[in-house]
Structure 1
Amino acid sequence: MGATTLIKNNHHKVKDDTKTMYNILFIIGFCHLLNDSIQSVIPAMFPILEKSMGLTFTQLGLIAFTLNMVSSVMQPVVGWYSDKRPVPYALPIGLAISLIGILGLALAPSFYTILASVVFIGLGSAIFHPEGSRVAFMAAGSRRGLAQSIYQVGGNTGSASAPLITALILVPMGQIGAMWFTITAALAVIFLIYIANWYTYRLIAIKESDRNKTSSSKKSQTTISKKTIMALVIIVFLIFARSWYLSALGNFYTFYVIEKHGASIAQSQVYIFIFLFMGAVGTFLGGPLADRFGKRTVILLSLLGTAPLALLLPFVGPISAYFVLALIGLLLMSSFSVTVVYAQELIPGKIGTMSGLTVGLAFGMGAIGAVALGSLIDSYGLTSTMIAIAFLPLLGLLAFVLPSDQKLKEV
C-alpha cells in the first residue's frame, strides 16, 4: 500500500502541465554544473599531462577531439533512442560511467589509458545531456524558456570552472588531483536518482494523457513538413555559426591579446573569464526574455546585436576589450537555451533528439570549426583571422526566415 500511495501522490503532483517545478529545475541545473565541471577537468589537465607524460600537442589535440566527438555526436543518438523508449535511470547511470572515467584519468599511466578514460567521460556526458534537457522540458510547465535557461546556465558555469580547477587542484596536486572529482560524480549520481524517480512518475502521467488522444492527432504530430525541416536546418546552421565564433574567442583570443596588447598569460585569462561569466548571465536571461518577447526575437537580436561588437573587438584597446567582450558574451549566449526550446517545439515529441541535435551535434561541429580556425591562423595570421570571423554573427539575418512563435504554436 505504501508504494502504491507514493506513486499516486507523485502522479497527482506531476499531472499539472502548466506548473513550473522549480525544485526539479534547480536540481537538474546543479547536476548539469557537476557534469560539465567533470568534463572541464580534461582540458584543465593539459598542462599537467604535457609536463608529467611528455605528451605532444598533437596527442593533447586528439584527447580534446575524442572528448568532443564522443560527448557531442552521441547525443542525438541517445536522444533519438530515449524519445522512443525513455529510460529515466539513464541519468544516474550516465554519471556513474563518468565516475569510472574520471577515476581512470586520475590513475592513467599512459596516453592510451587517458584516451580510454576520456571515452568513458564523453559517453557519460552524452547520456546525461539529452535526458537532462528532457527533464527541464517536462518540469518547465508554461515557462519553457526559463526552465531551459536554468538547466543550461548550470552547464555553462561548470564549463567555466576550468581555470579554478587548474589553479586550486591540479597545479598543487598534479594528475592524481582529478581523483577529487569522483566525489563530484558520486554526488551527481545521488541527486540524479531522485530526479529519475520524479521522471518515472512524470512518464506515468504522460502515458495516461496519451491514451486520451485520437489516432488521427497522433498522426498529425508525427508529420514533418518541408517548412519545418527548413526551419530546423536554419536553427542548426545558426548554432554552427555561433559555436564557431565562440570557439574562436574561447581558444584563440588569449593569443590575440598577448600578441597585440602585450598581455601576460595570466592577464589574458581574465578576458576569457569575463567573456564566460557574462555568457552564463546571458544564458540565464535569454530564457525569461524569450517567454516574454518570443523565441525568434531573442535568437535574432542575440546574433545581430553581437555583430557590430564582434566587428569592433579586433580594433579596441586592452581596457575597452573587457567591456566589449562582456557585452558579446551577454548577447551571444542569450540565445543558447532559446534555440534548444525552439527546436523542441518545432518538432513536438522529439525532445531528446532535438536537444541532442542542437546542443550535441552542433557543438561537435563547432569543435571541428576550432581546428579549421587554427589552420586559418597558421595560414593567414592571427589578426586577419580574428577580423574575418567577426562577420559570423551577421548570419543571424537568417533568423528572419524562421517561423514566428505564433506559427510555432500552431504546429
Structure 2
Amino acid sequence: MPRNKSIILMSVGHACVDVYQGAVASLIPFFVAERAYTYAAASGIVLAASLLSSVAQPLFGALTDRWALLWLLPVSTILGGLGIALSGLSGSYALTLAFVAVSGIGVAAYHPESARVARLASQGSHSMMGWFSLGGNIGFAVAPLMVTAVIATGGLRLSPLLVVPALVGSALCLPVLRALDNPTHAGSSAAAPTETDDKLSFVKLSLAVVCRSIAFIGLSTFISFYAQQRTGGGTAAGTAALFVLYLGGAVGSVLGGSLADRWGRITVVRGSYLITVAAVAGVVFVPGPAIYLFVALTSVGLYVPFSLQVTLGQDYLPTRVGTASGITLGLTVSIGGLVSPLIGSVADATSLRTALTPLILMPALSWLLFRTLPEPTAPKPVAAAQQTGDNTDGEPSPAQRNHR
C-alpha cells in the first residue's frame, strides 16, 4: 500500500479514536446541566477517563514491544466508542465513571500500537507523523461539535449515537493492517533501532510531556466555563472556545512536522513552549473576545511538539518503541486528567481564574526540560528483509511471531 494512502487511513482512524477523548470534556457541561454535578464531581469524570489510561498505555506499549498486536487497533477503537456511548444512559455517578473508564482503556490500548504502525507506514518521516497526529487533533476538534449536535438535541439519553465514529474507524484501519500483516509488505525504509537507549533523556522528555498534558487537559476541562465567564456568553461561547482549542492543535501538529524537517525537533519544541507561556497567560488574564485568539495560540503552541515528542521518545528508546509510544503519546492525554480534580476543587473554593493561573508554569517547565535534551541521531534505513525477517540477535521479529 502506498505510504500516503496508509497514513491517510491511519490518520482518519486516529481521529475516530481521539474524538472520544475530546468527547469527555465536551460532555462535562451536559453532565453539570442535567445532573447538577459540582466542578469537582465533573472533573472526576475526566479523572476516570485518565487514571486507567495513564497506567494502561505503557503496559500496552510493553506488550507491543514483545508482540505485534495489530488486532488491537479495531478492537480498542470499538471499546473507546462504546464506553462514551453508554456514559449518558445511567444517572448513576458510579456507572458513569465506569463507562468513561472503559472508554479510557480503549484509548490506552489504541495509541502505542497505532504509533508503532504509523512510524512504519510513514517510513520515519516527521511530516508524515505530523499528518498522523493531525487525525487525532481533528478528532478532538470535532468532539464538541458532535457531542453538542447529539446531546443538545435530545439530552444524554441519545449518547448511544456517539458510537458511530468508532464503527467507522475500526473499518478504515483494516486495509492498513492487512497490508502490514503481509510478510512481503514493502516497508524497506523504516527505521532500524540503534540498540542504545538514552534513558535519562527519555525521563526528561516524559516529564516535559507531563507538564504539557497538565496544561492542555486542565484548559480543555474548564475552558468552556471560563470562556462563558470572560465573554459573558452562553453555552455556545463555551463550545466555541473548546472547538478553537482543539482545532488549533490540527494546525500545530502539521506545522510541527514541517518545521522539524528544516530546523530539527528539539529547536522547534523549545521555541514552541516558550511562546506558549505567553499564550496561556493571555487565556487566563485577557478578558472579552480576545480570549479566543489566545486559546488558538495556546493550542498551536502545545501541539507543535505533539508528534515530535512521540518520535523523540522512540529514538531515545529505540529498543522499546512501543513503551516509548505508550508513554509519550499516552501521557499527553491522560496524566493531565489526574490533576483536573485538584483544579476543580480550587475553582470551587476560589475562582476558575485562580485555579487556572498555575497552568502558565507548565509550558515554562517543559521549555526548561527541553533545554537539557539533545537531538538524537536519526535511525538508519534497513532492508525489508530485516523488518519481516530476523532481528539482529537472531530472534524472530515481533511481526513474525505474531504471524506464526
Instruction: Give me the TM-score of the superposition, normalised by structure 2.
Output: 0.82
SS at 1:402's partner residue? Answer: coil
Instruction: Kindly indicate whether residue 62 of structure 2 is the aligned counterpart of residue 80 of structure 1.
Output: yes
Name the structure 1 match of 2:141: 160
Correspondences of 1:17-166 after superposition (within 5 Å) = 21-49=3-31, 60-98=42-80, 100-102=82-84, 104-105=86-87, 107-108=89-90, 110-143=92-125, 145-166=126-147
Name the structure 1 match of 2:399: none
Instruction: Kindly indicate whether residue 250 of structure 2 is the aligned counterpart of residue 280 of structure 1.
Output: yes
Instruction: Kindly indicate whether residue 332 of structure 2 is the aligned counterpart of residue 351 of structure 1.
Output: no
Name the structure 2 match of 1:181: 162
Q: Is the 8 A contact 1:149 1:283 kept in 2?
A: yes
Structure 1 range deviating more: 24-33 or 347-356 = 347-356
Aligned residues, how many?
Answer: 378
Following TM superposition, by how much is the alpha carbon of 1:295 offset from its aligned partner in structure 2, in angstroms?
Answer: 0.7
* Cα 1:168/1:264, change in 2 over 3 Å: closer
Following TM superposition, by how much is the alpha carbon of 1:111 offset from its aligned partner in structure 2, in angstroms?
Answer: 4.1
Q: Is the 8 A contact 1:73 1:360 kept in 2?
A: no
Following TM superposition, by how much is the alpha carbon of 1:35 offset from its aligned partner in structure 2, in angstroms?
Answer: 1.3
CA distance in 1, matches of 2:350, 2:310: 35
CA distance in 1, matches of 2:283, 2:36: 36
RMSD (Å), alpha carbons: 3.1
Gapped runs of 5+ residues in structure 2?
381-404
* Cα 1:244/1:152, change in 2 over 3 Å: same
Identity percentage over the alignment? 26
Of the three residues 290, 305, 308, the one matched with 1:320 is 290
Name the structure 2 match of 1:399: 370
Gapped runs of 5+ residues in structure 1?
1-12, 14-19
Structure 1 range deviating more: 153-162 or 116-125 = 116-125
Structure 1 range deviating more: 60-69 or 333-342 = 60-69
* Cα 1:103/1:146, change in 2 over 3 Å: same
Instruction: Kindly indicate whether residue 172 of structure 2 is the aligned counterpart of residue 172 of structure 1.
Output: no
Computing the radius of gyration over CA atoms, which structure comes out larger, 1 or 2? 1
**Which of the two has greater helix per residue?**
1
Instruction: Kindly indicate whether residue 293 of structure 2 is the aligned counterpart of residue 293 of structure 1.
Output: no
Deviations 1:177-212 (A, max 9, x none): 2222333222222222222212212697789x99xx
Following TM superposition, by how much is the alpha carbon of 1:51 offset from its aligned partner in structure 2, in angstroms?
Answer: 5.8
Q: Is the 8 A contact 1:236 1:362 kept in 2?
A: no
Instruction: Kindly indicate whether residue 207 of structure 2 is the aligned counterpart of residue 251 of structure 1.
Output: no
Structure 1 range deviating more: 96-105 or 76-85 = 96-105
CA distance in 1, matches of 2:11, 2:128: 9
CA distance in 2, matches of 1:380, 1:360: 31
* Cα 1:201/1:399, change in 2 over 3 Å: same
SS at 2:305's partner residue? Answer: helix
Following TM superposition, by how much is the alpha carbon of 1:240 offset from its aligned partner in structure 2, in angstroms?
Answer: 1.6
Deviations 1:133-172 (A, max 9, x none): 11110011241x2222112221122122232123311121
